């Protein structure tokens, strides 16, 4: 079971969510993996951001996310995105003691956007993960404001 709450306006957003609220045992389709006491544990996420208008055409959106999972260190993400005329954006993110990434994207229409991200792992996981590429195609359903950017939808 998952749950969350999302508050937003044209210039800010804040959210709190939880995954795996009800713990369950891990099971595998075959018996080749033996795992004693394996359980899914709750994950808690808190995120917030605010839009600053640099000029009429350029905005800056800093945001942060805190993730808590029992028996693991708390994870902090800091993000920043610069957007030009609700059309193009560039951004960067850092996950404390773990990774960083750069992003870019374009709003093709008021209903479709495309983004790209390149992530680099800086923790000990970098021995098996030298970086990853991600392409995202976004569909804004029910965009009654016909904004190119989901500033009214988040």
Give the contacts of 125 (CB within 8 A, at least 6 positions apart). 98
Domains of the chain: total = 1
Residue pointed to by tokens 């306006």: 9
pLDDT in tens, 59-89: 999 999 999 998 888 999 999 999 998 899 9
Percentage of the residues of the chain whose pLDDT score is greater than 90:
57
Specify the CATH number for the domain of residue 140.
2.40.160.40
Q: Which two tokens stand for residue 153?
A: 């939808």
| Residues whose CB falls within 8 Å of the CB of residue 7, separated by 6 or more in sequence, listed in order | 13, 14, 15
Whether 111 is in a domain gets the answer: yes
Residue 52 lies in a domain: yes
In a domain, residue 125? The reply is yes
Domain that holds residue 145: 3-24+40-152
Q: Is 87 contained in some domain?
A: yes
Cβ proximity of 102 and 79 under 8 Å: no
Query: pLDDT for 20-62, tens place per residue?
Result: 888 877 766 665 655 555 678 889 999 999 999 999 999 999 9
In a domain, 18, yes or no: yes
Tokens 């000990």 belong to 124
Nearest C-alpha neighbor of 9 from the set 142, 145, 108: 145
What's the confidence (pLDDT) of residue 110?
79
pTM equals 0.76
The answer to whether residue 31 sits within a structural domain is no
Is residue 51 a part of any domain in this protein?
yes
Residue 152: per-residue pLDDT = 45
Residue 105 pLDDT:
96
Confidence of residue 129 (pLDDT cuts 50, 70, 90): confident
Instruction: Classify burial at 119, counting beta carbons within 10 Å of its beta carbon; exposed 0-12, middle 13-18, buried 19 or more.
Output: middle
Q: Who wins on pLDDT, 66 or 154? A: 66
Residue 35 within any structural domain of the chain: no
């Amino acid at each position: 079971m998952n749950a969350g709450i999302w508050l937003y306006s044209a210039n800010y957003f804040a959210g709190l969510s939880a995954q795996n609220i009800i713990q369950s045992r891990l099971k595998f389709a075959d018996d080749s993996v033996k795992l004693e006491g394996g359980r899914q544990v709750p994950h808690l996420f808190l995120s917030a951001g605010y839009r600053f208008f640099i000029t009429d055409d350029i905005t800056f959106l800093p945001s942060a996310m805190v993730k808590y999972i029992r028996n693991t260190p708390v994870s902090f993400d800091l993000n920043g995105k610069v957007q030009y005329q609700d059309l193009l954006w560039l951004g960067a993110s850092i996950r404390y003691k773990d990774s960083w990434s750069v992003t870019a994207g374009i709003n093709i229409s008021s209903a479709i956007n495309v983004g790209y991200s390149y992530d680099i792992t800086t923790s000990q996981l970098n021995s098996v993960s030298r970086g990853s590429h991600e392409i995202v195609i976004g569909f804004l359903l029910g965009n009654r404001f016909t904004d190119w950017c989901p500033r009214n939808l988040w």
